[in-house]
């Protein structure tokens, strides 16, 4: 690990227009003006629609207008942008897909754990592989919302410097959100950054935000509360390396093989 390279994040916490892609992209483009200087810009889950269970009428092709928009914005700002979108696959199914776009990096991750309490598992196909990307020497593992509840899927302390969650996590379960984020940071001895939306969706569900960044000790470095804002935070790579060297619990983690159903 290059101990001199810090990582600058811009976490975009905002409300979303229900199932209105163009309105959301116009709104977010204004927010991106506040993200200048960030190495990585993080948008919420399903940032073009809100957490909608009607993909048949709203989803776009995987290589559709939102991916083109992400490429344009990443090039304009000379950064990497990530967030998830509902997409239609070539086989006719639907995925809750996180795009990672910027420079020569164009990767994606499909949400593994689908929120059955909303029927997401009946309308979308689950992802089958995790994604780890490298940015400025940082090993980043992006995940989506409900994935946060499943520590085995997040677990890779040997190969992860930053766990990244994008979400539409409802306000009634904000206690779970905040405590699980700290747990993931502590058990993996890595930084955690998480972006949630605010406002109310088309089904009347409220969202409290609580986008935040935490260090490897579970301490909160930045917290957006319930405000509409772009929150900037810089993660210190030397501090992470020093902590892991001084308290190398990661070396005693159990090895395991993950079996997908």
**pLDDT confidence of residue 256:** 86
End-to-end CA gap in the chain: 35
Active site residue 190: no
Averaged pLDDT of the chain:
96
Q: Which of 4-8, 53-57, 94-98, 134-138 is predicted with the least confidence, judged by mean pLDDT?
A: 4-8
Selection from 93, 91, 82, 17 nearest residue 59 by Cα? 93
Report the pLDDT averaged over residues 136-150. 97
Q: What share of the chain is helix, strand, coil (3-state, %, to 5)?
A: 30, 30, 40
**pLDDT confidence of residue 158:** 87
**Phi and psi of 241, rounded to 5°?**
-60, -40
Taking 50 as the threshold, does the pLDDT of residue 230 lie above it? Answer: yes
| Catalytic hit among 19, 45, 120, 190 | 45
Is 37 in a helix, a strand, or coil?
A: coil
- Candidates 3.40.190.290, 3.40.50.1220, 1.50.10.20, 3.60.110.10; correct CATH number of 7-250? 3.60.110.10
Active site residue 35: no
**Domain coordinates of the chain in residue numbers?**
7-250
Spatial separation of the C-alpha atoms in residues 168 and 110, rounded to whole Å: 15
Taking 50 as the threshold, does the pLDDT of residue 242 lie above it? Answer: yes
Taking 60 as the threshold, does the pLDDT of residue 67 lie above it? Answer: yes
Taking 60 as the threshold, does the pLDDT of residue 2 lie above it? Answer: no
Report the pLDDT averaged over residues 8-30. 98
Selection from 50, 208, 47, 194 nearest residue 118 by Cα? 50
Taking 70 as the threshold, does the pLDDT of residue 32 lie above it? Answer: yes
**pLDDT confidence of residue 4:** 56
Q: Which pLDDT tens digit goes with each residue over 41-66?
A: 999 999 999 999 999 989 999 999 99
Q: Are 224 and 10 in contact (CB under 8 A)?
A: no
| Catalytic hit among 111, 120, 200, 245 | 111
| Catalytic hit among 145, 190, 219, 245 | 145
CA dihedral 149→152→153→159, nearest 10 degrees, is 130
Active site residue 200: no
What percent of the chain stands above pLDDT 70?
98
């Amino acid at each position: 690990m290059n101990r001199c390279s810090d990582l600058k994040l811009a976490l975009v916490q905002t409300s979303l227009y229900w199932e209105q892609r163009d309105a959301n992209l116009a709104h977010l483009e204004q927010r991106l003006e506040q993200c200048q200087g960030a190495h990585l810009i993080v948008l919420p889950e399903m940032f073009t629609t809100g957490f909608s269970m009607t993909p048949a009428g709203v989803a776009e092709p995987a290589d559709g207008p939102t991916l083109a928009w992400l490429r344009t914005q990443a090039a304009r700002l000379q950064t990497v942008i990530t967030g998830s979108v509902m997409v239609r696959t070539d086989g006719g199914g639907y995925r809750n897909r996180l795009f990672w776009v910027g420079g020569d990096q164009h990767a994606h991750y499909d949400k593994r754990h689908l929120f059955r309490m909303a029927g997401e598992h009946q309308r979308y196909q689950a992802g089958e592989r995790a994604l780890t990307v490298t940015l400025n020497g940082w090993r980043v593992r992006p995940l989506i919302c409900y994935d946060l509840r499943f520590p085995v899927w997040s677990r890779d302390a040997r190969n992860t410097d930053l766990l990244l969650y994008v979400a539409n996590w409802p306000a009634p379960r904000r206690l779970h959100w905040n405590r699980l984020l700290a747990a993931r940071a502590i058990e993996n001895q890595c930084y955690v950054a998480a972006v949630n939306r605010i406002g109310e969706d088309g089904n009347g569900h409220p969202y409290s935000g609580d986008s935040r960044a935490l260090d490897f000790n579970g301490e909160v470095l930045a917290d957006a509360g319930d405000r509409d804002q772009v929150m900037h935070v810089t993660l210190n790579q030397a501090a992470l390396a020093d902590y892991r060297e001084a308290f190398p619990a990661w070396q005693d983690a159990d090895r395991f093989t993950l079996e997908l159903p």
